[in-house]
A and B are shown apart, each in its own frame.
Chain A
Amino acid sequence: MATVTESAGAAATGPTGSDRGSQGAGGWLRGSAVQALLVVVVLVAGYWAARLMGDPSWAGGFPTAVGDRFMAWLDGIYAWVVENRNDSPLFLYFFNYVSVGLGSAVVLINQFLDFLTWAGVTALGLFVAWRFAGWRVALLVLATFAVFALTGLWSESMTTLSLIFTSVLIALLFGIPLGILAGRSEAFYRGLRPVLDFMQIMPAFAYLLPFVLLFGIGNPAAAVVTAVYALPPVARITALAIREVPKGAIEATTSLGSTPWQILTKVQLPLAKRTILLGVNQTIMLAVSMVVIASVIGAGGLGDAIYQALSKVNVGQAFQAGVAIVMLAIAMDRVTGAVGRSTPVSNLPERYRLPVSAIGLAAIIMATAVGRLFKLGGWPREMSVDIADPVNTVYDWIQSGIGDFTAALATWLLNWVLSPLSALLTGSPWWLVVLAAAALGWIFAGGRTAIVSAAAFVAIGLLGVWDNAMDTLSQVLVASVVTIALGVVIGVLMSRNDVLATILRPILDAMQTLPPFVYLIPAVALFTIGRVPALAAALIFALPPVVRLVNDGIRGVPAGTIEAAESQGSTKWQLLTKVELPMARGSLLLAINQGIILVLSMVVMGALVGAGALGNDVVVGLAQNQLGLGLASGLAIVCLGLFLDRVTQGRRAPRA
Chain B
Amino acid sequence: MPRFMRRKGALLRVIAVAVVMVMVGSCAVRTDQIARDPGVVRMAVNGWVGYEASAEVLAAILRNEMDYEVQLVRTDEQPSWQALDQGVLDVIVENWGHEDLLELYGPEGNGTVVDGGSNGNVGGIGWYVPAYMEEEYPNIATMEGIKEHADVFQTAETGDKGEFLGGAPGFVTQDQGMINAFDLDLEIVFAGSEASQITEVRRRYANEEPVLFYFYDPQWLQEELDFVRVEFPEYEPGCDADIEWVPCDYPVYDMNKIFRTGFVEEDGPAYRFLDNWQWTNEQQNEVARMIADEGIDSSEAAEIWVDENPDVWREWLPEGYETR
* Contact yes or no, B88 A217, CB < 8 A: yes
> Of A91, A110, A311, A392, which one neighbours B74 at CB under 8 angstroms?
A311
Task: For the complex formed, measure the closest distance between the CB of B10 and the CB atoms of chain A, giving whole angstroms.
Answer: 14
* Contact yes or no, A103 B35, CB < 8 A: yes
Task: For the complex formed, measure the closest distance between the CB of A111 and the CB atoms of chain B, giving whole angstroms.
Answer: 5
In Å, the complex CA distance between A509 and B75 comes to 34
Residue of B24, B69, B104, B169 most packed against chain A (CB within 10 A): B169
In Å, the complex CA distance between A305 and B232 comes to 39
Task: For the complex formed, measure the closest distance between the CB of A601 and the CB atoms of chain B, giving whole angstroms.
Answer: 20
Residues from 356 to 389 in A contacting B, C-beta threshold 8 Å: 378, 381, 386, 388-389
A312 — which chain B residues lie within 8 A by C-beta? 49, 193-195, 292
B104 — which chain A residues lie within 8 A by C-beta? 82-83
Residue of B nearest to A218 (CB): B88
Residue A468, interface by CB 8 Å: no
Residues from 95 to 118 in A contacting B, C-beta threshold 8 Å: 96-97, 99-100, 103-104, 107-108, 110-111, 114
Residue of B49, B74, B190, B292 most packed against chain A (CB within 10 A): B74
* Contact yes or no, B29 A217, CB < 8 A: no
A104 touching B24 in the complex, CB below 8 Å, given contacts A311-B168, A623-B79: no
* Contact yes or no, A261 B83, CB < 8 A: no
In Å, the complex CA distance between A528 and B170 comes to 20
Binary contact readout B23-36 vs A (1 if CB under 8 angstroms, 0 otherwise): 11000111111111
* Contact yes or no, A313 B75, CB < 8 A: no
In Å, the complex CA distance between A108 and B36 comes to 8
* Contact yes or no, A93 B23, CB < 8 A: yes
Residue A216, interface by CB 8 Å: yes
Residue A346, interface by CB 8 Å: no
B74 — which chain A residues lie within 8 A by C-beta? 295, 304, 307-308, 311
* Contact yes or no, A623 B34, CB < 8 A: no
* Contact yes or no, A86 B110, CB < 8 A: yes
Residue A529, interface by CB 8 Å: yes
Task: For the complex formed, measure the closest distance between the CB of A625 and the CB atoms of chain B, giving whole angstroms.
Answer: 4
B242 — which chain A residues lie within 8 A by C-beta? none
> Of B32, B82, B170, which one neighbours A217 at CB under 8 angstroms?
B82
Residue A298, interface by CB 8 Å: yes
Residue B121, interface by CB 8 Å: no
A217 touching B110 in the complex, CB below 8 Å, given contacts A103-B88, A107-B34, A259-B2: no
A311 touching B79 in the complex, CB below 8 Å, given contacts A85-B31, A97-B29: no
> Of B49, B71, B88, B170, which one neighbours A216 at CB under 8 angstroms?
B88
In Å, the complex CA distance between A21 and B69 comes to 68
In Å, the complex CA distance between A86 and B194 comes to 35
DSSP majority for the A interface?
Answer: helix
A107 — which chain B residues lie within 8 A by C-beta? 34-37
A381 — which chain B residues lie within 8 A by C-beta? 299
A298 touching B297 in the complex, CB below 8 Å, given contacts A100-B31, A313-B199: no
> Of A91, A300, A607, A612, which one neighbours B73 at CB under 8 angstroms?
A300
A419 — which chain B residues lie within 8 A by C-beta? 156
In Å, the complex CA distance between A298 and B75 comes to 6
Residue A12, interface by CB 8 Å: no
In Å, the complex CA distance between A389 and B294 comes to 11
* Contact yes or no, B169 A216, CB < 8 A: no
* Contact yes or no, B33 A220, CB < 8 A: no
Residue of B nearest to A393 (CB): B295
In Å, the complex CA distance between A388 and B190 comes to 28
* Contact yes or no, A610 B196, CB < 8 A: yes
Residue B77, interface by CB 8 Å: yes
* Contact yes or no, B83 A96, CB < 8 A: no
* Contact yes or no, A529 B5, CB < 8 A: no
* Contact yes or no, B29 A216, CB < 8 A: no
> Of B45, B49, B170, B295, which one neighbours A623 at CB under 8 angstroms?
B170
* Contact yes or no, A620 B295, CB < 8 A: no
B194 — which chain A residues lie within 8 A by C-beta? 311-312
Residue B89, interface by CB 8 Å: yes
A103 touching B199 in the complex, CB below 8 Å, given contacts A217-B82, A312-B193, A386-B297: no
Residues from 33 to 88 in B contacting A, C-beta threshold 8 Å: 33-37, 45, 47, 49, 69, 71, 73-79, 82-83, 85-86, 88
A281 — which chain B residues lie within 8 A by C-beta? none
> Of A100, A114, A313, A619, which one neighbours B33 at CB under 8 angstroms?
A100
A609 touching B192 in the complex, CB below 8 Å, given contacts A103-B35, A218-B88: yes
B77 — which chain A residues lie within 8 A by C-beta? 623
A89 — which chain B residues lie within 8 A by C-beta? 28
B292 — which chain A residues lie within 8 A by C-beta? 312
In Å, the complex CA distance between A625 and B34 comes to 23
Residue of B45, B47, B73 most packed against chain A (CB within 10 A): B73
* Contact yes or no, A622 B79, CB < 8 A: yes
B199 — which chain A residues lie within 8 A by C-beta? 313, 528-529
Binary contact readout B174-205 vs A (1 if CB under 8 angstroms, 0 otherwise): 00000000000000001111111001000000
Residue B1, interface by CB 8 Å: yes
Residue of B nearest to A378 (CB): B69
A114 — which chain B residues lie within 8 A by C-beta? 37, 69
Task: For the complex formed, measure the closest distance between the CB of B166 and the CB atoms of chain A, giving whole angstroms.
Answer: 11
B31 — which chain A residues lie within 8 A by C-beta? 85-86, 91, 96, 99-100, 216
Interchain residue pairs with CB less than 8 A apart (20):
A85-B31, A85-B86, A92-B28, A92-B30, A97-B29, A99-B31, A104-B35, A107-B37, A114-B69, A216-B31, A217-B86, A218-B73, A218-B83, A218-B86, A257-B1, A313-B195, A388-B297, A529-B192, A529-B193, A619-B169
Q: What 7 pairs across the A-B complex have the smallest Cβ distances?
A: A623-B170, A104-B35, A218-B88, A610-B192, A92-B28, A623-B76, A529-B196
**A residues whose Cβ falls under 8 Å from a Cβ of B:** 82-83, 85-86, 89, 91-93, 96-97, 99-100, 103-104, 107-108, 110-111, 114, 155, 159, 216-220, 257, 259, 261, 295, 297-298, 300, 304, 307-308, 311-314, 317, 378, 381, 386, 388-389, 392, 415, 419, 528-529, 607, 609-610, 612, 616, 619-620, 622-625
